[in-house]
Amino acid sequence: MAHSNEKTTSDKQPDVQNKLNNDPKQSIYKELMWQGLWKNNPGVVQLLGLCPLLAVTNTATNALGLGIATTAVLVTSNTVISLLRHHIPATLRIPIFVMIIASLVTCVQLLMNAYTYEVYLSLGIFIPLIVTNCNIIGRAEAFASKNKITHSAFDGLMMGLGFSCVLMILGATREVLAQGTVFDGIQTLLGGWAAFLTVHIYHSETRFLLAALPPGAFIIMGIIIAIKNTIDEKIDTKR
């Protein structure tokens, strides 16, 4: 399973270092930002981590909670693996990567249990399942294990933000269609001060239940991917 994830991610991830060698004036941070947020976005391009992405994004609050947790694990795992990359045997790299990621996910899970308990209950099993997120293992193998700490940490940040953006768009869309609100219950994640962020767009006795159910998530996700592909086609046409 790990080998399959490694191959898929490596095939879809451009060799950033080669691109920089061909264009020395290009900033690696600019390239990593472009890859993570748009061109190689893990949610709508690589299509990694779809299980939690589709399962818990019934509200923008849950989407934000999972996005923060995933981004934190991506940044810290990339940093630790890059720091230890010269000391990790090649034959044992995948098991070691999984152990490092599992330890970090456990820390995040305990922190969420302590400080954001209601969101922790809403996300449920999908917090520990971050360990098996193909995106995190893929970034560890394809980038962090081959690059220095600062670049690896920034790569994890951009990939995490790209994934979080997709989570937020999907979660907000589903919440608006199903409940007529955005960021309902945000105070359970950010504290009482954030209650003002909840927006009530419309009030209705009937709810669009399809948006709140997994099939609705698949449909909306397909629309998001289609919109991105259309934008990419228009950009390529103008070049």
Backbone angles phi, psi at 28, to 5 degrees: -65, -35
Residues of the chain with pLDDT under 50: 1-14, 20, 24-25
Residues 167, 115 contacting (CB under 8 angstroms): no
HEC string of 145-194 equals: CCCCHHHHHHHHHHHHHHHHHHHHHHHHHHHHHHHCEECCCCHHHHCHHH
Give the pLDDT confidence of 106-145 residue by residue, as tens digits: 999 999 999 999 999 989 888 998 988 888 999 999 999 9
Instruction: Decide: residue 59, CB within 10 A, 0-12 exposed, 13-18 middle, 19+ buried.
Output: buried
User: Mean pLDDT, the chain, as a whole number?
Assistant: 88
* Confidence (pLDDT) at 34: 95
Could you give the angle at which helices 2-12 and 93-115 cross, rounded to 10 degrees? Answer: 90
Please choose, from the candidates 9, 77, 42, 83, the residue with its C-alpha nearest in 3D space to the C-alpha of residue 166: 42
DSSP string for residues in 64-119:
HHHHHHHHHHHHHHHHHHHHTGGGS-GGGHHHHHHHHHHHHHHHHHHHHHHH-HHH
Give the pLDDT confidence of 210-235 residue by residue, as tens digits: 998 989 999 999 999 999 999 999 99
In the three-class reduction of DSSP (H, G, I as helix; E, B as strand; rest coil), residue 8 is classed as helix
Residues 200, 180 contacting (CB under 8 angstroms): yes
